[in-house]
Structure 1
Amino acid sequence: MLKYQRQAHIDSYYVASTPDIPTLPALDGSASCDVCVVGGGLAGLSVALNLAERGYSVILLEGSRLAHAASGRNGGQVINGYACDMDTLAGAVGEDAARAMWDMSLEAIDIMEDRIARHQIACDWQRGHALAAVKPAKFAELAAWQDEAAKRFDYHHYTLWDKAELRSHLDSPRYSGGLYDARGGHIHPLKYALGLARAAQAAGARLYENTPVERIEQGERPRVHTAAGVVDCGQLVLAANVSMGDLVAGLGRKIMPVGTYCITTEPLGEARAKALINPNFAVADTQFVLDYYRLTADHRLLFGGKVSYSGLPPPRLAEAMRSDMLRVFPQLADVRIEHAWGGFVDITMNRAPHWGRLTPNCYFCQGFSGHGVAITGLAGRLVAEAIAGQNERLDLFEKISHLPFPGGKLLRTPSLVLGMAWYRMKDFL
C-alpha cells in the first residue's frame, strides 16, 4: 500500500491546462474543529463543502496538494451507476435498496452539475457518454441493459446505436454498436476539484496542504497528529483512499491501488476533433481492460486505458498508449502525443463503494473503483447527512459486505497480476 506522504502535482495535461493552481499553507500548531477531514481529493473536498454549508467548523488536511492523485488525474468521465453491476448491490442490500442506490447515482450527477452552476466552476462540463461494444455479444448485452434499466429502474435516457449509427457519431471501425447516455458526460477533473476547494473555503472550511497525518487517536474527541501540529475534533472523516496506508487498521486491506494511464494529443483543430466524436461525448468500451476517451475543450483527444496491479507503469508509456489509441482511431497516425501520465485508483474486491463508520464519531469513504468523478459528491452528501443525524442513506451502503484482498501484503499484488492476465486473455479472445 502507498504511504501517505507529500507529492507534488505530476506533469499532466490537467496541470498544464490549469493556470494558477493555488498553494495552501501547511498546518502549524494546534487547532480545534467540529469535523476534521483527512484527504483533499474529490471525496474529502465534497465532505468539507457539505459540512461547511451546514454550519460545521471544518478542517481538511491534505498530505500533498489538493487533488494531486486520482481526483486530478482521471479521465474526467461522469457515469451513472457504480463500478459494480446493480445485481451485486441488490444481492447485498435487497432490490428496493438497490433501486434507491441507482437513483442516488443519478443524484450524484445532479450534485455535480449544481455545484458547477452555483459556484461558477469553469471545468468544461459537457453532457453525453457512450458505452461502445467491441464485439457483437457485448452489443447484445448493452441492448439488454437498456431494456433492464427502463423496466427495473425507470431509466429512459439511453439510446441504442447500432454499428452504422455509432459510426456516424464516433469515427472508429472498432465497434459493433453502442449505448448513449444523455445524462452522463465529462469534465476537467482538476479544475472541478479546485472549484470545490474554493467553494469550501468560501463556506468557512479551513484547508491545509502538505500536511501528512502521522497518527490518529480515537476516542470521545479524536486527535489527528501531524508533524507540526494536532487537530482536536468532534468527528473525523477519512477520505485519503489509497494514500491512507496503514494509518487506520483494517481500512487499507479492503482496497487495492490499481494504476491507470492517459495521454493527450496535440490540438487537432475543431473540425478534425468533431470528425472523431460528434456531439462531444465521452466514450468507454466494454472490455474488462477498457479504453476510455473524450475530447478536451481545446480540441485534443484525451485517451486512457491499460491497468497495472503491480504498481509499475507500462514501459515507454506514451508509445504504448499511442498504439492503443491507433487501434481505435487509425486516422490519427500523424498526430503527436504531448502528455502522458498515470496514477492509482482505489478498487474494492466487489467494485462496490466502501463507505461507513469505524466508530460512532469516525467516518470513511473509499473504494470508488474508477467511478469517483460523480459519486464522490454523493459520498460527501451522505457522510454529512450522517454527521447531522440523518443516517438512513449511509446505512444502506454500510450493509454491503467488503472482503479484504487475499494474500496479505506479500502475495496480494502477485495474485492480482495473475488474475488480470486472465482477464486480458479473455478480452483478446
Structure 2
Amino acid sequence: MSTSRRAPITAALGAAVLAVAGLAAAAPSASAMTDPSGASASAASASAASAGVKTSDAHVKRVCAQPSDIHLMSCQALVRTDVAEPNALRSHGVDRAAAPSGYGPSDLQSAYNLPSDGGAGQTVAIVDAQDDPNAESDLAAYRAQYGLPSCTTSNGCFQKIDQNGGTNYPSADSGWAGEISLDLDMVSAVAPNAHILLVEASSANMSDLGTAVNQAVSQGAKFVSNSYGGSEDSSDTSADSSYFNHPGVAITVSSGDSAYGVEYPAASQYVTAVGGTSLSKDSSSRGWSESVWSTSSTEGAGSGCSAYDPKPSWQTDTGCSKRTVADVSAVADPATGVAVYDTYGASGWNVYGGTSASSPIIASVYADAGAPGSGDYPSQYPYAHTSALNDVTSGSNGSCSPTYLCTAGAGYDGPTGLGTPNGLTAFTAG
C-alpha cells in the first residue's frame, strides 16, 4: 500500500483523552500520553488542520506510530477519544453493576452465534511488538468485570514470553500496550476457556514479529493472531515461507485500517486475512446487522489485490490474479466498537476498534471450533462452508475496479471476504 493510503488518522486529543481516561497509578507519566507519532495534542491538531482534516469530527486516534520503513509494521488498533466512562469504572476498574461502553463478551457471542464457554483445551497466541507491563493485571480486570474464568500465570492459563521464548521482555510502549490489551480482551470474550500465550517481539520490524510468530507455533499454539500490517514489497513472498507457512495452525491477520488498499502480512497466501465491519443491533431475526466499515477514504477496513503474493488455490474470485484480501471479517468500526481495559498509557476502560479487533476475534472463533487438521491451511475452511457465514452485502471502502474488491455484495467481496461468523461450522476442519 502506498504511504498516502497509510496516513494516520489524527484524533482530537487533549481534553477528550483525559475525559476518557484520567491517570491510573499503573500508567506511565502524563508526558507519555501524546499522539502516537510523539507529537503533542495541539501539534496533532495543527497538522490535521493543515491536511484538511476536521478535527472537530474526529473521534478516534491510532494507538501506534505509523511505520517509517517498508519493513516496519504498525498495529491496527483505534481508540475512541469521545467516550467517558462512569466514575465507578474509572476509579475502581471493575464494577459489575456498571457496564463499560462498547460491546462485551455476551454481545459478540450473540452477534456471531458463538458458545459462551468456547476455547476449552486450546491455546490462542497473540503476537505483538514491545512490552505491556500491565498485560496480566489488565486482563484480570477485564475478565472480572464480565464474570469470565480467571486466566493467570499461576493457574497456567496465561503466559507471556519474548520472541525467543524467554522472559527478557522488550522495552515497554504505551501504544502497543493498548493493542495488547485489545487482543487479550477479544480472546477472552470469544474463547473464554482458552489458554492465552502473549509473544512480545523485540521491535515492530517484520523479522522480529515473524520470529515471534514462529515462537508461538513452536510453543504449541494452533491459533495465532496478528493485528499489525505495513506496505507490501517484493520480499513478502520470502517472509511468507519464513514466518507464515505453518500447516495445521490458524494464523489470522488484520486487513488494515486505511480503507481500500492491501497490506502485508494480510496478503500472505498462508493466513486468514480478516476485514472489518460496522456491527449494530436491530430487530431482525438475527438481532444484528453489519456493513463494510468505512469512515472516510483513509479510514476503514483494508482490501484489494496483492501486488506480489500468489493466490491460494481455494480462492476463486476472477478479478484478481494474485492474493485477494480479505477472507472473512468481524466488527472493526470504533463507532460500534468493543470494550477494552488498559492501564499502560490509559487509565482503564476505553472503546476500541480497527481490524486489530477483528483478527483476534476470528482467531478465537477458530479456537472455539477446535484444532485444525494437521496438514491444513485453515484459511481454506470458510471457502468450503460459505452458507455458514453472515454475508455482508452493503458498504464500500473506496473506489476500485473491479468493484467487488472495495464494495460489498452478495457472496465474496474484498472488504468483508465471505462474511462474518455464524456459529463455528465455517471455521471447522472438514
Bigger RCO (CA 8 Å, 6+ sep): 1
| Larger strand proportion of the pair | 1
Q: TM over 0.5: same fold?
A: no
Q: Taking structure 2 as the reference length, what is the TM-score of the superposition?
A: 0.24
| Larger helix proportion of the pair | 1
